[in-house]
Structure 1
């Protein structure tokens, strides 16, 4: 089968959809399918329009959507037609059996139009983009909301990383109640390399991710503050980059915790794995979290997890079995759960073993077959 994957972003950009697309593509190719990546670029960004990247052909397009300025509205038809012509040329060259959108943005709007023009089945995979965008773009962009509604109507099949994500699409964007299938995100069964992470503590609690408001690092910091005197030998590590990192550093200083909280910045995947395997606990304190692939990575590293109850994480983390699930807005409960983990080696062992036992359900070698079932159902 020939499959065109259309992610909202792709390498060299770094993020969840980029990793998802690369893993899916790799496993599809291994199973004998032909795959191309058709993804987005910005005018003047210097990225190659057409290249082979890590064994895959990657074509990049400017997926322009109108804004509210007169100039933008007037220029949209010409820009749209130019992109659609490029996509039509790609169709004639590659002749895909399926168009698969991963994380709906401008890529999805153009894929829906291309699906109709070329008569190619469309699959849409939602990754929580409607609730986790840093700029809350689905609230502010009329064009994107309308495009998503049209895309969901056009799609032969819609998948979501959790029921939470699909329910949001049903409630706000017109996905039919009977439509949509959950295909969880995944990880590889092993981590190939380990690189020592620059952490100055022997014992520590770890959180990593985009350092933005929705990720709730400030809530974890408040919980840690209430435990700091009780556990003087435990540090807190908040890894990643983002818009609220500097304010968190200032908040830490105002709490007189600068020597107890470490901000290593962005860590490589190899460094994250090392940091996880040495941590006392991994915490995902998000205000809302559609999935949380870092939880799978923490399970793979053998560290017990404490995760948010807001969003879709509770659909696969069993409270008291494979992790602890808590509402991060209840900082006192967050601190209490963290106290349990730090006080009890037996509990940490139980939860880490529960996570390890749960992990095979999320191996890519299994998930790729679920996507294949979707493709077969629409062709």
Structure 2
């Protein structure tokens, strides 16, 4: 099978979507398939720093020079030509609304779209971006119907059906099998893992933590994307028992997860929330906020305590997680629930999905 994955970024750029693309690509190579990733020669802030072509863990990576960039989106007029020149059996396109998802929709090939649930509220992205997103969805709603669609949660499946009147198949993101072997080393602190940006609702979490007056420390880990200074100043101003440790390696992240009491995801809408599943696989419960994919990956009462998006709501959730009976119940539930997201299981589902699409094409050709 010859497969092309098309994505906004690829390794060494790191992120949730990038991990999904690399794991699928490398797995399919390990199964004897030929995989090419078509992406752009840029990271999230600059352009032209990577090789135009290289092999990474058996995956051929082709990086196009973007003619236009806007935030994380890139446009290259070459994407259609390059994909067609590879002559793939399947084209797997990642992230809805990016230019390549519109450019490739009319190709006469077996096409898969992984939207990655980019359906945010006005509050999260601001009025201008919110209007733009809805405009694209309205103008190009027929384009999305040209794809076989993978939703990463039942919530995304419902949104896509409602917005575009099209069905999709739910295949969630996966957590590495190795996480299930990590043993809990204590419950020393609360933990936030993620980018420090306004959309992550980190300041709300800090205000809730301050209001809760819990004695257990709070550790904040992740790259600074605009509010690191504000976070550190708030911690210092109120003398909170909290610490921002900056970006962490995979090994450091696992160590933090094994020693924390619970992982906190304060974002009001999360497309998925892979860090929640990673915490659950280690046997750690979660505190979540709002409604979205986070309720699917960390269901309240099973592996999480859910808060509404207020300072007091988060304060109450911290206090609730301090109760040992709640903590132990959710810890047990977390480990069991996470099994459905085990990476080996998810990659096998992707492979079966690809094969089913190709069998469907073969059946239609033989009957015509």
Structure 2: gaps (5+ residues): 359-368
Contact 1:317 1:325 (C-alpha < 8 Å) held by counterparts: no
Q: Which stretch has the larger CA shift, 132-141 or 41-50? A: 132-141
| Residue number among 282, 285, 288 corresponding to 1:307 in the alignment | 288
RMSD (Å) for aligned C-alpha atoms? 2.9
Cα displacement string for residues 96-151 of structure 1 (whole angstroms, at most 9, x for unaligned residues) = 110001223123223324x2xxx211100121234288687564479955785354
2:217 to 232, 235, 247: 235
Indicate conservation of the 8 Å contact 1:25/1:35, yes or no: yes
**Equivalent-residue separation in structure 1 for 2:225 and 2:16 (angstroms):** 15
Provide Cα deviations, 1:256-301, integer angstroms capped at 9, x if missing partner: 32xx111111111211111011011111111211110001110122
TM-score by length of 1: 0.81
- Deviation string for 1:325-368 (max 9, x for gaps)? 222x1332322221122231x43222122111112211122112
Pairing of 1:151-162 with structure 2 (within 5 A): 151-155=143-147, 157-162=148-153
Structure 1 residues 274 and 147, CA, compared in 2 at 3 Å: closer, same or farther? farther
Per-residue CA deviation, residues 36-55 of structure 1 (Å, 9 max, x unaligned), is 21112249522111111122
Quick check: 2:24–2:347 contact (8 Å CA) kept in 1? yes
Instruction: Classify the secondary structure of the residue corresponding to 1:112.
Output: coil
Q: Structure 1 residues 138 and 22 mapped into 2: Cα distance closer, same or farther (>3 Å)?
A: farther
Q: Is the 8 A contact 1:236 1:262 kept in 2?
A: yes
Say if 2:307 and 2:314, in contact at 8 Å, map to a contact too: yes
* DSSP-derived class of the 1:320 partner: coil
Q: Which residue of 2 aligns with 1:72?
A: none
Number of positions where the alignment pairs a residue of Structure 1 with one of Structure 2: 343
| Deviation (angstroms), 1:206 | 0.4
- Whether the aligned pair in 1 keeps the contact of 2:277 and 2:297 (CA below 8 Å) is no
1:30-69 per-residue CA deviation (whole Å, 9 max, x = no partner) reads 33332221112249522111111122111112455698xx
Candidates 59, 66, 79, aligned match of 2:62: 59
Q: How far is the alpha carbon of 1:203 from its aligned partner?
A: 2.6
Contact 1:299–1:359 under 8 Å retained in 2: yes
Contact 1:99 1:121 in 2 (8 A): yes
The two structures have a TM-score, normalised by structure 2, of 0.83
Helix, strand or coil at the partner of 2:9: coil
1:356 to 335, 340, 345: 335
1:265 to 246, 255, 258: 246
1:85 Cα shift? 3.1
> What is the alpha-carbon distance in structure 1 between the residues aligned to residue 171 and residue 231 of structure 2?
34
Shift of the 336–378 alpha-carbon distance from structure 1 to 2, 3 Å rule, reads same
Q: Paired residue for 2:310?
A: 330
Alpha-carbon separation, structure 2, partners of 1:297 and 1:48? 32
Aligned counterparts of 2:130 and 2:58: Cα–Cα separation in 1: 34
> Structure 1's 377 and 369: CA in aligned 2 closer, same or farther, altered over 3 A?
same
Query: Per the alignment, do residues 341 and 14 of structure 1 end up closer, same or farther by CA in structure 2, a change over 3 Å counting?
Result: same
Name the counterpart of 1:126. Answer: 115
Match of 1:213 in 2: 198
With over 3 angstroms needed to count, the CA separation of the structure-2 counterparts of 1:306 and 1:143, relative to structure 1, is: closer
- Cα distance in structure 2, aligned partners of 1:170 and 1:286: 24
Q: Which residue of 1 aligns with 2:362?
A: none
Report the Cα distance in structure 2 between the residues aligned to 1:175 and 1:97, rounded to whole angstroms: 26
Q: Which residue of 1 aligns with 2:83?
A: 87
Q: Do the aligned partners of residues 144 and 63 (structure 1) sit closer, same or farther apart at CA in structure 2, a change above 3 Å counting?
A: farther
1:96 aligns with 2:99: no
**Secondary structure of 1:11's partner?**
coil
